[in-house]
Amino acid sequence: MKTNLAPTRSNLMRLAEELKFAELGHELLDQKRSILVGELLTLVDQAVDYEGRVVKALGEAQTTLSDAIMQMGRLRVGNLAGAVNIDYSINLGSRRVMGVTVPRVDTTFTDNSPYFSAEDTSILAEVSIERYRTTLSLMGRLAELKVSIMRLAREVKKT
């Protein structure tokens, strides 16, 4: 932009219009930043919650599996694990938040039970399977949240 303009009325009017346009652009970017920061803080709160839930669920699943191994033996539990037939699907999608593409992760499990005979097996094996399945669902959501946080933070930094 030229710094030494002739002091004419037309230049004044043109510069006034450019100033209004620049102020409007700044205001829109400020609104975008506010919305992105709000969304980012919401996602951070959710991620902290989900991280705690994943740690708790994983601990419970591991404890249950350890109890099943203690009760039935490592070899028997290993054989039962080979008999488990669960189909899974991980669907990746996306949504947009103020022009930023953030992922959507949907995990679904299709049960093909019974996996094994109830005779000579502990209920702990079944409980362990269910707890690990729950943990995997939570981990999918946590991954979605963490990637969304990284993308939104990068966009906030740019605006």
pLDDT, tens only, 57-74: 999 999 999 999 999 999
- The separation between CA 110 and the C-alpha centre of its own chain, rounded to angstroms, equals 22
Question: Which range (36-40, 83-87, 132-136) has the least confidence?
Answer: 83-87
Instruction: Kindly tell me if the per-residue pLDDT of 44 is higher than 80.
Output: yes
List the domain boundaries for the chain.
Answer: 9-158
- pLDDT tens for 75-130 read 998 888 888 888 889 899 999 988 889 999 998 888 877 767 777 788 898 899 89
Instruction: Kindly tell me if the per-residue pLDDT of 9 is higher than 80.
Output: yes
CA–CA separation, 119 and 58 (whole Å): 27
Q: What is the pLDDT of residue 54?
A: 97
Indicate the average pLDDT of the chain.
90
Q: What is the pLDDT of residue 1?
A: 58
CA–CA separation, 36 and 155 (whole Å): 8
Work out the pLDDT band at 2, boundaries 50, 70, 90: low
* Closest to 134 in 3D by CA, of 67, 77, 55: 55
pTM: 0.78
Q: Which tokens in the block code for residue 119? A: 């005779």
Judge: domain 9-158, CATH 3.40.50.720: no
